[in-house]
Amino acid sequence: MSNVEATTDNRTASRWEQLFDRSTRELLVGLLFAAPYLVLFSVFLLYPLLKGLYMSLHEWNFLEPSKSTYVGLENYARLLEDPAFWNALWNTLEFVGMTVPLIVGVSLVLALGLNKELKGSRLLQFVYFSPYVLTVSVVGIVWAQMFAQGGVGTQYFGWLFSGSPLNSKFWAMPVIVVTTVWWQAGFYFAVLLAARQNVPERLYEAARLDGAGPWRMFRDITLPHMKNALLFVVIASTIFQFQVFGQPYLMTKGGPVGNTETLVYYLYELGFQTRELGFGAAVGYTLLLILVGVSVLNYVLVGGNDE
């Protein structure tokens, strides 16, 4: 059976060899294997990227795109003077600024704690990591309930807020932040746990013999060895959190008075509620530029570290 297959293969191969020279053959086979991915990549990533730029230069008509009018950079000019855009940008920065440090802190504490030999560490790991497998709808709705009337958050922290914190201009965002930390910390905890477990134990033994305390060991051994993993956590969570949408959509509808409306939420409203597609595309492009900026900054920082 396999003999027959091999002969057929050889015969096809030889005809194929007569038609093309070696390098052409390699190019064709190579492209054939790459083609399915490249088609999807071009159609659903590159094309929308270019079309988004094109749309952002137009007053876009959704029902009859041919009736769209070219407006140059007008959408971008409008954006710069649009209070809703600045509000969304500010809220997003506020969210990222609170969430990322908390995620880094919580996931680091979980990872360092669980690195020690604890009874039941598998169970603990399960509990910390499990929220990661939940969808944002479950997370958002459960946490909104916890801060509604009769919810556990309201029961124990009610003295902090009057009424529901999700209706409070001051508290709505912090509640969304805490929700997000609960949802996401486990993911980064797993990353940091692996990094911590890769630090050679003999370094700590040597330091202990030198009389180093826990703080010094943390500062001089743990932190430097976990630097790359920590950078990954900061970068990945910053870029991910910048695109926050589900939590405010489900918990506050962006309110009260737009206080938790984030950039992607604003993008969603423009695209799918008010149907200002051209302007929305400009907002999308601006968000893209911001995130590329964040990435480039990070690459520079990380690159500097590798050398």
Query: Interface residues for other proteins in 122-151 (CB under 8 A)?
Result: 122-139, 141-143, 145-146, 149-151
Q: Does position 175 bind other proteins by CB under 8 A? A: no
* Helix (H/G/I), strand (E/B), else coil: 262: coil
What is the closest distance, in whole angstroms, from the C-beta atom of residue 229 to other proteins in the complex?
6
Residue closer to other proteins by CB (options 44, 86) is 44
Q: Is 51 in the site for other proteins (CB under 8 A)?
A: yes
CB of 222 to other proteins, least distance (A): 15
Shortest separation between residue 224's beta carbon and other proteins, angstroms: 16
Question: For other proteins, which is the closer residue by CB, 106 or 172?
Answer: 106
CA 127 to chain centre: 22
In degrees, to the nearest 5, what angle opens at C-alpha 44 toward C-alphas 84 and 299? 70
C-alpha distances (whole Å) from 151 to each of 159, 180, 262 are 13, 18, 25
Give the one residue of 20, 170, 218, 272 binding other proteins; rule: CB under 8 A.
272
Q: How far apart are the C-alpha atoms of 182 and 180, rounded to whole Å?
A: 5
Residues in 283-302 at the binding interface with other proteins, rule: CB under 8 A: 284-285, 287-288, 291-292, 295-296, 302
- Take residue 295 and report the two structure tokens written for it: 């990435």
DSSP H helical segments within 42-171, as ranges?
A: 47-56, 74-80, 83-115, 121-129, 136-146, 152-157
Binding mask 227-246 for other proteins (x = CB under 8 A): -xx-xx--xx--xx-xx-xx
Q: Which is nearer to other proteins, 128 or 171 (CB)?
A: 128
- Point out which span in 28-36, 90-98, 163-171, 251-259 binds other proteins (CB under 8 A): 28-36
Nearer to other proteins, 146 or 203 (CB): 146
In the complex, minimum distance from the CB of residue 243 to other proteins, in angstroms, rounded to a whole number: 5
d(CA 16, CA 24): 11
- The pairs formed by 122-125 with CB atoms below 8 angstroms and a separation of 24 or more are 125/193
Spatial separation of the C-alpha atoms in residues 236 and 98, rounded to whole Å: 15
Identify the DSSP state of 213: -
Binding residues among 77-96 for other proteins as defined by CB under 8 A:
none
Report the residue from 9, 17, 205, 220 that binds other proteins according to the rule CB under 8 A: 9
